[in-house]
């Protein structure tokens, strides 16, 4: 089931979206966040009952930020991305030996979130704006020191994530040795909806990876393509690691990190030794499409 936050003429409501582009509005006033926190079983029951009602074409409503997670952890799980982007951001080559130890992550800003189609402002001091093609797992349960089986069961669903990055700011500030701050905290786009985990179970490989096609384009021009199964760690392993000696809670969003194969511009800049394709400019539109998860698009705002 695809759970979305939609704005109609009567206000903001939750909708269950089906493949033909119809949204069935959920009764009772539950938000997507409410359904995430109440768990997958109840969400499927509420959404299933909504499908017996009257549908509304997506063309007649506006998709908004699906929900607001209490925390956003962004991992780095694609080896080819690490190798390429280090050259352009850090001026280094290869992959650090420590990367292979565990699924490393950083916390990004849960207050600077943008929904589908919502313009994103380039930071005033940046001239090297980039996108990042990612997939995020949405937790429907929490806990500490989860094993992988419990971590897998804790996943409510998945959504597309675009971790916008100001590479020039990021490159400078990371020389201090403390991971990205102003190069990252200005914007993260998620959406267009949350796809419940049951829909994606058939797309897991035997060793637990989600095998989905991931693509990104700028102004309609294809830039990158990769398989989500090229992650080094599964989402269950990421959730378990995040909970180690700590706590994850329902609603937390754990992003995969950027895919390889041109999942961001900086990877290509590092491999080519020049900024080609060029950094994003005001008016540029980034479109990310992930198999079975949908399409997330947004423009760089033209006005400050």
* Confidence band for 94, pLDDT divided at 50, 70 and 90: confident
Mean pLDDT of 251-267: 97
Q: Give me 287's structure tokens.
A: 């479109």
Quick count: other Cβ atoms within 10 Å of Cβ 148? 16
Q: Are 116 and 195 in contact (CB under 8 A)?
A: no
Partners of 196 in beta bridges:
157
Mean pLDDT of 142-164: 98
Unique residue bearing structure tokens 């806990």: 143
Residue 28 vs residue 163, higher pLDDT = 163
| pLDDT(85) > 90 | no
CA angle 102/296/131 to nearest 5° reads: 55
Determine the pLDDT at residue 183: 96
Name the helix (H) or strand (E) containing 43.
helix 40-50
CA dist 9 → 13, 24, 46, 56, 107 (Å): 10, 15, 23, 12, 36
For the stretch 176-229, pLDDT in tens is 988 899 999 999 999 999 999 999 999 999 999 999 999 999 999 999 999 999
* CA atoms of 260 and 86, how far apart (whole Å): 13
* Confidence band for 304, pLDDT divided at 50, 70 and 90: confident
294-299/221-227 β-pairing: unpaired
| pLDDT(19) > 90 | no
Mean pLDDT of 31-58: 93
* Confidence band for 10, pLDDT divided at 50, 70 and 90: confident
* CA atoms of 38 and 202, how far apart (whole Å): 24
For the stretch 108-125, pLDDT in tens is 999 999 999 999 999 999
Rounded to a whole number, what is the distance in angstroms from the first to the last CA of the chain?
37
Complete domains list, the chain, with CATH: 2-63 (no CATH), 72-299 (3.90.850.10)
* CA atoms of 302 and 119, how far apart (whole Å): 9
* CA atoms of 222 and 233, how far apart (whole Å): 27
* CA atoms of 48 and 61, how far apart (whole Å): 20
Residue 84 vs residue 152, higher pLDDT = 152
Is the preceding peptide bond at 277 cis, omega within 30 degrees of 0? yes
Determine the pLDDT at residue 115: 98
Determine the pLDDT at residue 89: 77
């Amino acid at each position: 089931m695809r759970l979305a936050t939609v704005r109609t003429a009567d206000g903001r409501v939750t909708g269950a979206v089906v493949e033909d582009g119809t949204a069935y509005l959920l009764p009772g006033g539950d938000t997507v966040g409410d359904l995430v926190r109440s768990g997958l079983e109840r969400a499927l029951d509420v959404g299933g009952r909504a499908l017996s009602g009257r549908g509304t074409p997506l063309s007649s409503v506006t998709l908004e930020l699906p929900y607001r997670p209490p925390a956003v952890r962004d991992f780095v799980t694609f080896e080819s991305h690490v190798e390429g982007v280090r050259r352009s951001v850090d001026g280094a080559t290869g992959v650090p030996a420590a990367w292979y130890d565990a699924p490393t992550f950083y916390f990004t800003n849960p207050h600077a979130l943008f929904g589908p189609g919502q313009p994103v402002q380039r930071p005033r001091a940046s001239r090297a704006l980039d996108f990042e093609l990612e997939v995020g797992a949405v937790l429907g349960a929490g806990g500490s020191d989860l094993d992988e089986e419990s971590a897998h069961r804790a996943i409510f669903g998945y959504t597309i994530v675009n971790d916008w990055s100001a590479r020039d700011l990021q490159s400078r500030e990371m020389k201090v040795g403390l991971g990205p701050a102003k190069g990252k905290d200005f914007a993260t786009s998620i959406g267009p909806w949350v796809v419940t985990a049951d829909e994606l179970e058939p797309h897991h490989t035997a060793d637990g990876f989600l095998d989905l096609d991931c693509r990104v384009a700028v102004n309609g021009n294809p830039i990158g393509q990769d398989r989500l199964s090229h992650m080094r760690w599964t989402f269950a392993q990421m959730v378990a690691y995040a909970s180690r000696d700590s706590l994850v809670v329902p609603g937390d969003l754990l992003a995969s990190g950027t895919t390889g194969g041109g999942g961001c511009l900086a990877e290509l800049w590092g491999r080519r030794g020049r900024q080609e394709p060029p950094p994003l400019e005001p008016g540029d539109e980034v479109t990310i499409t992930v198999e079975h998860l949908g399409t997330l698009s947004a423009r760089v705002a033209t006005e400050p």
